[in-house]
Amino acid sequence: MSGMFGGSMRSSADTLPPRTFSLPFHSSEIQTMYEAKDNITVRMVREIGVYGALSVAGTGWFIDPTTVVTAAHTDKGGSLNYVTIAVDSSNTGVPYISVPVEVLYIDRGKDLAFYRVKPTSQRQVSALTQIQVIPVASSWSEGEPVVIEGYPSLRFKSYSEGVLGAVGTTSHIEGYAVETGLSTIPVTKGFSGSPVLNQKGESVGVLVAANSDTWEGVIIPFYVLKEAYRVLDRVDAR
């Protein structure tokens, strides 16, 4: 999965080789925000094999109390069927719980996908109450500090931060010319679909790809996300 913008190859974030880095929180405001918002993302997973093993496809987040948004390219032919949520493991020894989801709307031209959670047990319902709904921002400012949270592995979440760059650029993802914004956020495998949070705790967009030369994040900006979400309202009303 790659594309071209300004002569630089761009690859979807979930296809880059694993990379480890420690995150120094340069922004005290962002660090404070993260301390206040512990459980803001979920893992997007698919069930594989006869034993029901889970494979991480990317990261998702709640745009409303029942709807999860992520990057469309993480769903291969409708293969995503669960989100996993971090929970207290002191009683069970398992640090997450899986909740079934169903596809609501996928727009590959915007690299966005929306799913509705379908809990089947009280424990799943209880886990969902621990999730933060993230408001969508209404502005994009070059140089603004932002942070992402994602799941390079099934068990552990990671963070990365940078600043916003130009918006209104075009990146080619899965054969589509997608309107994007740029950033200096270093990303790695598993971050696709992550919310890109400003200092107010709002999502300025969805992390979908990376510059393969610098591994800096490429983002679907907030106004494209809002347009797709409005379409979802019409689809859901049918």
Please report the pLDDT score of residue 85 as a whole number.
83
Please report the pLDDT score of residue 5 as a whole number.
30
- Residues 209/192, Cβ–Cβ less than 8 Å: yes
Full domain range(s) for residue 155? 2-34+134-224
C-alpha span between 205 and 77 (Å, rounded) = 24
Q: Does residue 234 fall inside a structural domain?
A: no
Burial state string for 37-73 with b = 16 or more CB within 10 A and e = fewer than 16: eeebbbbbbbeeeeeeebebbbbbbbbeeebbbbbbb
Please report the pLDDT score of residue 48 as a whole number.
59
Q: Which residues of the chain have pLDDT under 70?
A: 1-38, 47-54, 78, 88-94, 153-155, 233-238
Please report the pLDDT score of residue 2 as a whole number.
36
Q: Does residue 159 fall inside a structural domain?
A: yes
**Same domain, residue pair 44 and 25:** no
Q: Does residue 233 fall inside a structural domain?
A: no
Q: Does residue 116 fall inside a structural domain?
A: yes
Q: Does residue 235 fall inside a structural domain?
A: no
**Same domain, residue pair 14 and 92:** no
| Number of structural domains found in the chain | 2
Q: Does residue 232 fall inside a structural domain?
A: no
Please report the pLDDT score of residue 18 as a whole number.
41
**Same domain, residue pair 167 and 92:** no
**Same domain, residue pair 172 and 202:** yes
- The CATH number of whichever domain residue 56 belongs to comes to 2.40.10.10
| Among 88, 105, 128, residue at a domain's last position | 128
Q: Does residue 175 fall inside a structural domain?
A: yes
**Same domain, residue pair 8 and 76:** no
| Among 67, 98, 128, residue at a domain's last position | 128
**Same domain, residue pair 208 and 156:** yes
**Same domain, residue pair 146 and 217:** yes
Q: Is the whole model's pTM more than 0.85, yes or no?
A: no
Q: Does residue 124 fall inside a structural domain?
A: yes
Please report the pLDDT score of residue 84 as a whole number.
85
**Same domain, residue pair 48 and 112:** yes
**Same domain, residue pair 79 and 114:** yes
| Among 105, 128, 151, residue at a domain's last position | 128
How many Cα neighbours within 13 Å face the side chain of 66?
10
**Same domain, residue pair 154 and 203:** yes
